[in-house]
Structure 1
């Protein structure tokens, strides 16, 4: 479904630089932006929350955190793999809004139970509830973000979503990272402080659910007469993989979603365990670990508009390939870090953030362009399944590499995977590039000769 990146229907609604699809209003888009600010931020809080609970509630030594966080991530991804396909089909049948709202409610339940875990088994169970919310909310964020913009400005739309994601991640993690210390200073014990901090997150989840229920576009994406059967939709994700560009998008999800979770899971654990080794208290180490995570997300935030503009100006296979190259650079550089809390590591964390957001946005923009409207929920669902499988592999291997080789090892693993995908992108760019802007084609003809 590769379409022109130049044609715009100017009879439709416009919000800032974003021209919207027929039937999509400015208020629908504003509700999406509100959800975009909070969804990924809410998702990433679990990393700091898990570290805090392992240390303060369950008294587990930091030498075991890598394996435990890897195992928790494993069950998170298994849950998502089981749910994403059904969620995509349901979104194409009943609409995006109820699934997105259900995701926020599941987030609220999972976070509400999380600080009451008295064993790893209970923590895992509560993590599965969280994972159900993650599957619904992130699946619908990607699908609605693909639904609303016209294709010519899809890169700008996803860039705005990326900026809001980044702002939300930075804001929520910065706030959450300080909350336990604030509550401890107010006179409560550290375990109770951790619970109060997550109660704040629960309140945010409920607020977001309400805004999404009131603001997102209701109904299914196509009429009942145009709607396909559940069986056809379930098959759509596999069928569409025959399109080389969708196949590349699936592969990019396998790698790029690993980028995001490896960064959130192991960067925080690296920072907190280093802080503990330096003699910091649990609250101080959590705050230090949060700071380095916020640095990566801040650089991602600044770079998002650049990637969005770039992806609208070039062939999107070219764009994805370049994005994965940046991801490869960003995730191999941590091999040079000795102490992540030292100021000398900051430039590397900045480049990591740029690599992470580039790989993430590139594949998201490509799948939004290529997925057919009537099957978009199902195709994006399969895109998310590939992402979940990638996370499952990366965290399963990465957790053990973190403990047995060193904290930089999981990042280098993902960096190499990004570089491998660059070669796949070059192949698809040659064989099935889709729409190629005239300026880029002239440059290709000049460098390599006209076809």
Structure 2
């Protein structure tokens, strides 16, 4: 069995790695709450800017939204590798803080774009921030817990991610309506809301700079050279379970972004089509997105139970199966605001959080400590490539086929990874949680 160091700090049910304080862990949870929550506000902000500021026709918004996500992911692909190297060479705090600052800058300027070209440039600035922030977050999540309680730690962080998404989007999504009710026009209401989001990003940058543990988990003399770290992300895929993790990341890491982009856009457009003014339609779209995230939060306990008791590959197979069901189920939705379709929206959220937590738990178990940042960088890069594909195809399918089409595409990809997970489970199952010895099979 993996040795549990009981001389280290314990944070609730999680045994922390030696040298990690409770204050460090509280800071991680703060960062988890705000990073993903603030990241996903872009799904609310973009329809607002497209409709109110740039006045893009609705039959073109799917392609425009997809292209904006595409540029976000091109930037992410270019950045995830370097971020993985930088967090291993220079530590987590500076990268995490810089990521929040860049996100804040992107949000502050976003509603001032006068053209699609300017909006794209600002989206790239935002993308630099999210690539840096999510890369640092994934690495810190892997650093802080001991292996025996990693599943619990991943679940707690996932819970904070979900709470951040639900609470921040409920609160921030309703602010434009409040500004409009106070007499501000729609454009000014959106501008002020983006300023508030930017301010939260800047505050988070200060908090992580103060509260996270400095340095890296290995001594400077023990660190591989930067190119060796970068190459290690590719070499690591020779481990079939890391290859599976990368494959799961291809779709799972993008599920939330795609959900936020196309579900919010679809629901907002449905609200406008039903006669709502735009602030009210935006609020309705936000409520549907929050419903999916609320279902995800309620489901986290079941995922925790699975991750802590089942083989991680088995757990990932179950998670990807749920994700496939959730996204394919959107093919039966006619109106995302209709009460009859709300259970399918909830299943979508359950599938999304399952895939996210399952993939994170497996890569956390398999990533070697000296190359952890690089392997996590490879994991994030794989996710970015997946979003690049899904966003470009999804935007086209949204406008040319139907709003359901991007979800069906993602559901099919989740199904492919589900089958891959079953194959890996048979051929190279790996070890049980907390067990230092892999069970029978190829290793």
* TM-score normalised over the length of structure 1: 0.95
Query: Is residue 228 of structure 2 the alignment partner of residue 239 of structure 1?
Result: no
Aligned to 2:111: 115
Unaligned residue ranges in structure 2 (runs of 5+): none
Question: Shift of residue 294 of structure 1?
Answer: 0.2
Aligned to 1:95: 91
Output the CA distance in 2 between the equivalents of 1:96 and 1:381.
13
Aligned to 1:158: 154
Output the CA distance in 2 between the equivalents of 1:305 and 1:161.
12
User: Pick from 21, 26, 35: which aligns with 1:25?
Assistant: 21
Question: Shift of residue 221 of structure 1?
Answer: 2.1
After the TM superposition, which parts of structure 1 deviate over 3 Å for at least 4 consecutive aligned residues? 436-439
Task: Name the Cα RMSD after superposition.
Answer: 1.6
User: Pick from 417, 425, 429: which aligns with 1:421?
Assistant: 417
Contact 2:312–2:433 (CA under 8 A) maintained in structure 1:
no
User: Pick from 207, 212, 216: which aligns with 1:211?
Assistant: 207
Output the CA distance in 2 between the equivalents of 1:73 and 1:190.
24
Query: Is residue 65 of structure 2 the alignment partner of residue 69 of structure 1?
Result: yes
Question: Shift of residue 255 of structure 1?
Answer: 1.3
Unaligned residue ranges in structure 1 (runs of 5+): 446-451
Aligned to 2:121: 125
Query: Cα–Cα, structure 1 residues 437 and 227, in superposed 2: closer, same or farther, change >3 Å?
Result: closer
Contact 2:147–2:434 (CA under 8 A) maintained in structure 1:
no
CA-to-aligned-CA distance 1:342-377 (integer Å, 9 cap, x gap)? 111111111111100001110111111111111111
Query: Helix, strand or coil for the counterpart of 1:354?
Result: helix
Output the CA distance in 1 between the equivalents of 2:332 and 2:73.
29
Aligned to 2:393: 397
Contact 2:162–2:297 (CA under 8 A) maintained in structure 1:
yes
Contact 1:95–1:218 (CA under 8 A) maintained in structure 2:
yes
Contact 1:79–1:131 (CA under 8 A) maintained in structure 2:
yes
User: Pick from 50, 56, 74: which aligns with 2:52?
Assistant: 56
Give 1:190-229 correspondences, 5 Å limit: 190-229=186-225
CA-to-aligned-CA distance 1:371-393 (integer Å, 9 cap, x gap)? 11111111100100000000000
Query: Is residue 322 of structure 2 the alignment partner of residue 354 of structure 1?
Result: no
Output the CA distance in 1 between the equivalents of 2:433 and 2:413.
28
Aligned residues: 438
Query: Helix, strand or coil for the counterpart of 1:339?
Result: coil
Output the CA distance in 1 between the equivalents of 2:155 and 2:78.
29
Output the CA distance in 1 between the equivalents of 2:310 and 2:365.
13
Query: Is residue 315 of structure 2 the alignment partner of residue 296 of structure 1?
Result: no
Output the CA distance in 1 between the equivalents of 2:206 and 2:373.
22
Question: Shift of residue 438 of structure 1?
Answer: 11
Query: Is residue 286 of structure 2 the alignment partner of residue 265 of structure 1?
Result: no
Aligned to 2:324: 328
Query: Helix, strand or coil for the counterpart of 1:220?
Result: coil
Query: Helix, strand or coil for the counterpart of 1:114?
Result: helix
Aligned to 1:318: 314
Contact 1:33–1:161 (CA under 8 A) maintained in structure 2:
yes
Question: Shift of residue 7 of structure 1?
Answer: 4.3
Query: Helix, strand or coil for the counterpart of 1:225?
Result: helix
Aligned to 2:174: 178
Contact 2:148–2:434 (CA under 8 A) maintained in structure 1:
no
* TM-score normalised over the length of structure 2: 0.97
